[in-house]
Amino acid sequence: MLLTVLIFGFFTNLLLFVGPLYMLQIYDRVLLSRSEATLFGITVIAAFALAVYAALEMLRSRLLVQGGLIFDRAIAGPMFSMVHRANLLRPNTGQDASLRDIDILREFLTGSAILAFCDLPWAPLFLLACFILHPWFGWMALAGGGALLALTLVAEFATRRSLNVAGQAAREAEGQARETFRNGEVLQAMGMVGALRARWHSQHDEALLLQARASRRTGTIAAVTKFIRMLLQTLVLGAGAYLAIHREISAGSMIAASIILGRTLAPIEAIVSHWKSFTAARASYARLCRLEAAVGAEPHRVALPRPRGLIDVENLVVAAPGSTVPILRGVSFRLESGSIVGVIGPSGAGKSTLVKAMTGIWPIASGDVRIDGSELAHWDQQALGRHVGYLPQDVELFEGTVAQNITRFGPEDDESVVAVARRAGCHDLIQTLPEGYNTRIGPGGQGLSGGQRQRIALARAIYGDPSLIILDEPNASLDQAGELALLRAISDLRQQGATVVIVTHKVSLLTGADTVLMMEGGTLRSAGAPDQILGQLVGTRPVPTLVATGDPATGEAARTADGQRSTG
């Protein structure tokens, strides 16, 4: 596409000779002959040539726009997937800014800046014309062009570092502000707005100062560039007048040389004026290349049949993304398909890390997670995800309708949506919303309570009859009615033969579990039947409603009170 634009540029630049040739004929032929017919004839020819020029420019512009659309369609989808995987590998590092880099690159490739670069290779045509009119004009154009190119290089070295650092600081400030506003309730309640505003201001001001420094330098260089161009055009007229006095050239040649000199320097001046957008596009391209090198394209994987839910974990070692310190060490177990499995243990034992590794959210440092005998890496993640239900600790819904969130933004089957909402015990809850299933919710589930979000997220997790369902603290925000609905949903999943993994601190959710995994210090302390594992925790004492998570010396009364609070 760019090659076509470049070829079109050759013809448009040839047609730019219409202006100087027209003036040359006016001064050297029409004014001397006083022929109106000649004037009319060359004016019609010039008008036709300019119309062709306008048509070619329009076509060139449309080619760029079409090329930008093709570019976006080719790169946006794969880059979205890469950004998603990069965010999993390095959370909270602003990887989503790469989507803006695509826009910056596309805008550069379809704007006036790229036209200046496409016109630059044809500048020698005008330089040759200057030499043909008189060698003085050619050398003046050559000297002027060299000076402008030198200024362009100066602009590059003077602003590159400042712009790169300013861009990084601006992205960090933007990410910090986004994270701050996500916790707006905490800011308001605890009077933290001023402190976090000052923190944001420090990064924002740093980016602003660096951008201002680069803009000042760019502005100075642009002013010098304009001065050189205007000076050259003045000197060309002066030199042309001198040569005309000595009858070395005609008056028409003097005017034509001034116009041609301007056309020689125009692409260089345009590049200088668009240098900031060029450096921004180059930086965006470099970031996209680094992202692709770090993450890589998703390889094609053979489609495997629907999993039955048989899970084998062997010598699993997992570290947090971006860290080399293991959180899980040497964890091994087997979950039969259709079983209900509870995962318990104190805070920081690695329970959530385990289920994140089982779903492919966190990378595996060593060991294996196998689903139906196939390693997790052998599954196409998107295809596998349709058979997996996941309810994380921190429930996030997406901007859209309740029905769209339940169906995971796939095709909507009204009967299936209502049926799964009933199974999750949230149908009556949804009916109390302003527009029922068509109620639009904000990002993250804005506009819903924590319990409402959790119950809708449970419906999303079990939508489509997945084979493996992982529930991480599924009753953290539920009231007693919500917890009863959750227990009914788990019982229903058992009857359907789904494998259900429940991370919990509450013994009540382990009712009817086939296996309980006890995690401690990043290792699997024990695994077995619920009575056996819970018996190890409480001995011969009555089983509390809350799995102990603190000091073993903590009194029974304190544990029972905590259990009552967590079920309220």
pLDDT tens per residue across all 568 residues of the chain: 678 888 888 899 899 999 999 998 998 888 888 888 999 999 999 999 999 999 999 998 888 888 888 888 888 888 888 888 887 777 766 677 788 889 898 888 888 888 888 888 888 999 999 999 999 999 999 998 888 888 878 877 777 777 778 777 887 787 777 777 777 767 777 888 888 888 888 878 888 888 888 788 878 887 888 888 888 888 988 999 999 898 898 888 899 998 998 888 888 888 877 877 888 888 889 888 888 888 877 777 888 889 998 999 999 999 988 788 999 999 999 999 999 999 998 888 999 999 999 998 888 999 999 999 999 888 888 889 899 999 998 888 888 999 999 999 988 888 999 999 998 889 998 999 989 999 998 776 677 888 888 999 999 999 989 999 999 988 887 878 888 888 888 888 888 889 999 998 888 788 778 999 999 999 999 998 888 888 776 654 444 444 444 443 333 333 333 433 333 3
341 located within any domain: yes
551 located within any domain: no
Predicted local distance difference test score (pLDDT) of residue 546: 40
Predicted local distance difference test score (pLDDT) of residue 539: 54
Whether 390 and 466 share a structural domain = yes
Whether 50 and 195 share a structural domain = yes
> What sign for the dihedral angle of Cα 96, 98, 104, 107?
negative
Domain range for 445 is 311-528
Predicted local distance difference test score (pLDDT) of residue 92: 66
| Element spanning 368, H or E | strand 366-371
Whether 417 and 487 share a structural domain = yes
193 located within any domain: yes
What pTM did the predictor assign?
Answer: 0.71
CATH number at residue 432: 3.40.50.300
Give residues with Cβ within 8 angstroms of 44, minimum separation 6: none
Whether 280 and 350 share a structural domain = no
Whether 217 and 328 share a structural domain = no
Predicted local distance difference test score (pLDDT) of residue 445: 67
Predicted local distance difference test score (pLDDT) of residue 242: 92
542 located within any domain: no
Lookup result for tokens 């006095």: 245
Candidates 440, 324, 363; CA nearest to 89 is: 363
Biggest alpha carbon–alpha carbon distance for the chain: 122
Q: What is the CA radius of gyration of the chain?
A: 35
Whether 247 and 315 share a structural domain = no
Predicted local distance difference test score (pLDDT) of residue 552: 38
Whether 198 and 322 share a structural domain = no
d(CA 345, CA 550) in angstroms, rounded, equals: 10
Whether 445 and 511 share a structural domain = yes
CATH number at residue 220: 1.20.1560.10
Whether 327 and 396 share a structural domain = yes
Overall domain count for the chain: 2
540 located within any domain: no
Quick check: 423 and 484 in contact, CB under 8 A?
no
Predicted local distance difference test score (pLDDT) of residue 442: 78
Predicted local distance difference test score (pLDDT) of residue 561: 37
* Pure H helices in 183-274: 184-189, 193-245, 251-273
> Any idea what DSSP says for residue 111?
S
d(CA 358, CA 331) in angstroms, rounded, equals: 12
- Measured CA angle at 209 (ends 154, 213), to 5 deg: 20
d(CA 327, CA 522) in angstroms, rounded, equals: 5
Q: Which of 261, 294, 327 is the last residue of a domain?
A: 294
Would you tell me how many other CB atoms lie within 10 Å of the CB of residue 197? 14
Whether 277 and 337 share a structural domain = no
- Measured CA angle at 416 (ends 510, 381), to 5 deg: 70
Predicted local distance difference test score (pLDDT) of residue 297: 72
Q: How, if at all, do strands 311-319 and 326-335 pair?
A: antiparallel
Quick check: 498 and 559 in contact, CB under 8 A?
no
Predicted local distance difference test score (pLDDT) of residue 87: 79
31 located within any domain: yes
Whether 173 and 320 share a structural domain = no
Whether 253 and 357 share a structural domain = no
Quick check: 94 and 83 in contact, CB under 8 A?
no
561 located within any domain: no
543 located within any domain: no
Predicted local distance difference test score (pLDDT) of residue 548: 41
Residue 401 DSSP SS3: strand
Query: How far is residue 503 from each of residues 37, 344, 397, 507, measured CA to CA in Å?
Result: 94, 6, 20, 11
